[in-house]
Amino acid sequence: MRNNLITFFSNFKYYFSKDRVLFIRIKQITGIAPLNLSCYKQSLRHHSIASKIHNSGSKDSNERLEFLGDAVLNSVIAEYLFKKYPYKDEGFLTELRSKIVSRVSLNDLALKIGLSELVEYDRKSMQNINVRNSIFGNALEAFIGAIFLDKGFKKSKYFIIEKLLRLHIDVDKLQQTEKNFKGRLIEYTQKSGMNLDFKLDELAHGKQKIFKVSVIVNKKVFGEAEHTNKKQAEQQASEKALELLKNTPKDFFINQEKIENRQEEVLVDVAIEEIPTETINESNDNLINEDLENSLSEETESEDLLAETEVNIEIDAESIHLNKVLDNETEEVKTDN
């Protein structure tokens, strides 16, 4: 009864205050009427606009609440999966939990429930790709931390399971999803007989290094992604390429190859047409002269060989004649004796 009265007066107070809109939006998102709006406000405040509140440099941003919310989220998800899959081992449970609480997944959840519309941040900070990929997911964790401080573990668990998992995540389908998109892409292109290449560019963004990965299939770009982590960029680019390839007609590459072959033929024809007639005639004359020189060279070699053969025949004939003379003289000597 006492708690109901506190909730009633709290609701009444916020309905007629400057925080009325925020109060209503939080209640719509969580299904829970907040009591202490200050912790929710902090959970939605990015450090890019936060004020310094301590000499140590600490700010009233959502980073501390993010730490708390991360612990609550992981605890609830771990218990949920432990009960849902009683015969699965630790490796399976850990991998599935990591898929649910990944930065990409949390960012997506924050967008789906409309929490991203309430986050306060400096627009310039969104130029940083690392911030852009994590700002709303981090805010969701901080938001869970705010619910924990305001309403306790039981209400936090209700929000995570009923408003996030059951409404926006198909856990059974998620467990069958392979995270290694690069491996799946390589396997897909190999089976389809496609040529696959990964192009990596390193971009400088202030003091930060950004990796840009382009997936090239049969000389055509099918997916690009940028990230501060090279492997993440490869995975995201591969995921985009896989999705696009699966929606590409089977005869696309055949037609593309025909077009490229035709373009090459046209280029060759144009190149031949652009060669001056004088150059062609000169080339032909050079070929004729080369043939004549080869023929003359062959005739000269034949004449030299014939002359050499005739000389050898003459030498052989003289040798035979001398041998006969010597034989006759030898016979005469034998007769005289």
Residue numbers annotated as active site: 70, 141
What are the structure tokens assigned to 290, written together?
Answer: 């080369």
- Residue 76 makes CB contacts below 8 A (sequence gap 6+) with 156, 157, 160, 161
CA dihedral 147, 54, 134, 136 (to 10 degrees): 40
What are the structure tokens assigned to 210, written together?
Answer: 């950004």
* Alpha-carbon distances of 181 from 176, 177, 236, 259, rounded to whole Å: 13, 10, 8, 30
* Matching residue, tokens 């981090």: 138
* Alpha-carbon distances of 223 from 6, 91, 195, rounded to whole Å: 54, 31, 14
For residue 51, the 8-state DSSP code is P
